[in-house]
A and B are shown apart, each in its own frame.
Chain A
Amino acid sequence: MSSRARPLNVTTWYLVLLAVMLVTIVPFGWALLMSVRETSASPFPRNGPAQLVPYLGLIGWGEGLREAKQDGLYNGEGGWWRDYAASPTEVDESRERPAYMFPLTTENYYKVTQDIPIGRYFVNSLVVSIGTVLLTLLLCSLASYPLAKMRFAGRDVLFVVILSTLVFPEQLILIPLYVMAVNMLGFQDTFHGLILPFAASGLGIFLLRQVYYAIPDDILEAARMDGASEFGVWWRILLPLIRPGLATLAIITFVASWNNFLWPLLMLTNNQLFTLPVGLAFLRGFFSGNLRTIAAGIVIATVPVIVVFMIFQRQFIQGLAGAVKG
């Protein structure tokens, strides 16, 4: 395939790219649209055009939502709301809104934050994910160093044992892990209970071992000659050298931990400790049929992730590509 696209082709190519992008972003756009609507009724009414274009409706934050719904305005202590669609200036214009428009509101966002501590779920998820990443990096970078760079009795056997963890599917150990966590380890409703079981990863050890391999032995020998201890060599010389590999492992681990659902679902009962996925599932049950409030919750929970991802997208994509090559 030619990397120098012919000029005529470029437009078509961008059209294809855009069309595919629509498929990925339209569902998000739909959630966004639902989250600012004043009713849960379909934006595609039975008769009439789809209502996809917003105009200002009930906007505000804090107390006074009820009053504003009745009077069109609330400006009191602890809150401010205004129904632009019902405000006098709009009435003066006395023109009917076109049928394809709908009033936009911030009401659903306010409601969802009132009932569900999404901010807290973010913090919980961050604590768990960062904890898992740090511990995983530590354990895996320690363990893979001798596997790659030292000769000692039992090395190959150990490596096979560690690799064998990749062969067994996760669900095989789920049940006994749960029994141990509940009956013996007291992991229920704790953050370390969400971190420790996932800290030692066979995949991580395997990945980093490949990275260590690529480092020439001379560097190590030189450092050892200088009288550095093995730990010193590892800490001062090797860790900086394997940083790209660590970044890859960190990203993979972070994404997995951030999105982990079943284990936290089983471990957590206290809704103050929920991680974001469990909190979202809780929110879903809490608001049930109220689609617009659920949509607002989804938007709040995903937008920061999308923003962070777009900032670090190069690292994400190169990290994953690096893992495939390695």
Chain B
Amino acid sequence: MSVTRKVRRPASTAKRLSETQRRTLTAYLFLAPALAFLAVFFFTPLVRVIYYSFTDFDLYNASWIGTSNYSELFRDPLFWLSVRKSFIYLIATPILIVLSLTLAIVVNRKLPGVAFFRAMYFMPAVISAVAIGMIFELVFADQGLLNGILRQLGAIRRPIAFLQDPDLVLPTIMSVTVWRGVGYYMVMFLAGLQSIPQERYEAASIDGANILQRHWYITVPGVRPIIVLVGVLSSIAALRAFDEIFIMTDGTGGILNSGLTAMFYLYRQAFVFNNVGYASAIAVVFSLIIIVFTAVNLKLGGEQ
């Protein structure tokens, strides 16, 4: 007992000292599961992809080949074609911004039932791109809705080969991406619109501004952060679009590689050809391109 008494005071200091340590320990205990998952499923692959990109690797045996994958990649016309296709796919982004902002303005009215319309516009976002791609295959087929209507209107005599004409494949698939995304980004803009004070519009009306001017001078600056956000999100989504392309080109990347985006080229090299090392080099280079592109985007968006 006396021993206990003797150490009582120091123990108390020790306890106080360990308070910080204990807090740190607690904090790390809370963090540990998530960190472990990130370590295994994110940071390990991140290191490995860089290693793979310097190897000749067919899923079974890897051998170090230095930078040959990269030098081959820079000479590979198909890679640059695929990067170009990916950037063409980015045209979807400004279209999405304009359409979804317009739509947000349209549904930002306190009308009875407007919530229902918002929901209907948003709905495609919750349905898988696979199902959407398949629906639009039916729409774009030679026996499909679009060709049917056009023929009934007498606009065409032969069906338009939306998915067989190399020039039409990518725009056709992009239109599906836009269709699916508009409602989603509309909801983001709605959140932004509702934070713009009504008085500004009323003041502008009194000053004689017409509807276009009011939105250009009030709405657009008011939702600028959301425009940047939507721009970044939708361009990242466009650069990694895969599901629609896979479905609508039957897993081939499109006739004459017309739908071969960089993401699809990566998939083909890695999982169809088993050129894992080469595909890793594609992943590294293309990711760098995306990171630089996004950073520039954010910088431009932030400056204005």
Interface residues of chain A, those whose CB is within 8 Å of chain B, are 1-5, 10, 13-14, 16-17, 20-21, 23-28, 30-31, 34, 40-44, 46, 49-50, 138-140, 142-143, 145-147, 150-155, 158, 162, 165, 167-180, 182-183, 196-200, 202, 205, 230, 234, 255, 258-259, 261-262, 266, 276-278, 280-281, 284, 291, 294-295, 298, 301-302, 305-306, 309-310, 313-314, 316-317, 320-322, 324-325
Contacts and interface: CB of A to CB of B under 8 A. Distances in A.
Contacts of B114: 17
Chain B, interface size: which category?
35 or more
A169 B121 contact: no
5 contacts: A24-B124, A27-B135, A30-B138, A281-B130, A321-B188
Given A50-B148, A171-B287, A173-B45, A27 B130 contact: no
Contact of A261 (B128, B139, B198): B128
Given A30-B138, A277-B130, 19 more contacts: A1-B201, A20-B106, A31-B135, A34-B138, A143-B33, A146-B27, A150-B26, A169-B286, A173-B49, A175-B49, A175-B280, A176-B280, A202-B38, A230-B26, A234-B30, A259-B128, A281-B247, A294-B134, A313-B119
B248 to A, nearest CB: 10
Contact of A17 (B23, B117, B191): B117
A309 B118 CA distance: 12
Is chain A's binding surface mostly helix, strand, loop or mixed? Answer: helix
B143 A291 contact: yes
B126 A316 contact: yes
Given A140-B34, A153-B24, A178-B270, A317 B135 contact: no
Given A34-B138, A50-B148, A280 B191 contact: no
Contacts of A321: 187-188, 190-191
Contacts of A153: 24
Which 5 residue pairs of A and B lie closest in terms of their CB atoms, listed nearest first?
A44-B148, A200-B37, A143-B34, A146-B27, A176-B48
Nearest to A4: B110
A102 to B, nearest CB: 13
Contacts of B121: 20-21, 24
B14 interface: no
Contacts of A146: 26-28, 30-31
B145 A172 contact: no
Contacts of A278: 130
Contacts of B267: 262
